[in-house]
Amino acid sequence: MPKILGYPLFTIPSPSANARPVPIDAEEIVLGEEGRGRAMVRIPVIGTGEFARAKLTDQGIVVVRLEEAVPAPAPCLAAINAAGAYHKNRHYQIPRTEGLQVITAGNFADGMAGRACSAEHALCLVQPGAEFWLQSKYSLNWHTWDGVEWRLETPAQRNARLALAEVEAGGGEWL
C-alpha cells in the first residue's frame, strides 16, 4: 500500500483575512452554526503531524493529520468562511471556480429564522493556481494559492499585478 502524504491545512476566517495554518492540536473543525436556517458540520481531526488529508466516509468527513507532505507545489485543505458583515438580504458564497473543490459546508445566518443574511463556511481542497474572490460588506478580496503560500489582494492590487505581468510578457498597447 502506498504511503499517504498530506497537504497543508489552513483557515481563512473571513473574506478580508489572510489564510493561516490550523493549529496542530485542533481536535475538530467546525463549519457554520446550529439553529433555524443554519447548518453546522463537525469534522473530527485525528492523527499527528503538520499536514492533513480529508477522508470521506458514509457518515461524513474526517481530517487525518500526517507527518509527511506532498512535494510543493501541492494542493492544500482550507476551511473558508465567506461571512462578511451583516447586510440585509446578502448571501455570501464561496465561488465555484477551477481548482477549488468544496468538500463539505455549513452556513451562518442572521435573523431569527436565518433568512436575513447567510454565509457559506466550507472545507475545500484547493489546487495550486486556484484564485477566487470573497466579498465582505464593504470590500472584495482575491485569494490565491500558488502551491506553497497564500496571496491576499484587493482588486486594485490584483489588476496592477496582472497588468505588470502582461507588459513584462510583451503585451499591452502603446499610447
- 96 CB-near residues (< 8 Å, 6+ apart): 102
* Residue-wise pLDDT tens digits, 96-143: 889 999 999 988 876 665 566 678 889 999 999 999 999 877 788 999
Burial class (CB in 10 A: 0-12, 13-18, 19+), 147: middle
Antiparallel, parallel or unpaired: β 130-135 and 140-145:
antiparallel
Instruction: State the chain's mean pLDDT as an integer.
Output: 88
Bridge partners (DSSP) listed for residue 27: none
pLDDT at residue 86 in the model: 60
Length of the chain: 175
SS3 content of the chain, % helix, strand, coil (to 5): 10, 45, 45
CB 88 within 8 A of CB 31: no
pLDDT at residue 32 in the model: 86
Strands (E) located in the chain: 9-12, 20-21, 28-32, 40-47, 51-57, 60-66, 76-81, 91-92, 100-110, 117-126, 130-135, 140-145, 150-153
Determine how many CB atoms are found less than 10 A away from the CB of residue 116: 15
Picking from 63, 41, 40, the residue whose alpha carbon sits closest to that of residue 51 is: 63
CB 134 within 8 A of CB 143: yes
pLDDT-above-70 percentage for the chain: 90
> Tens of pLDDT along the chain (175 residues)?
678 899 999 999 988 899 999 887 889 999 988 877 788 999 999 998 999 999 999 999 999 999 999 998 999 999 999 886 665 656 678 888 899 999 999 888 766 655 666 788 899 999 999 999 998 777 889 999 999 999 999 999 999 999 999 999 999 999 9
CB 59 within 8 A of CB 50: no
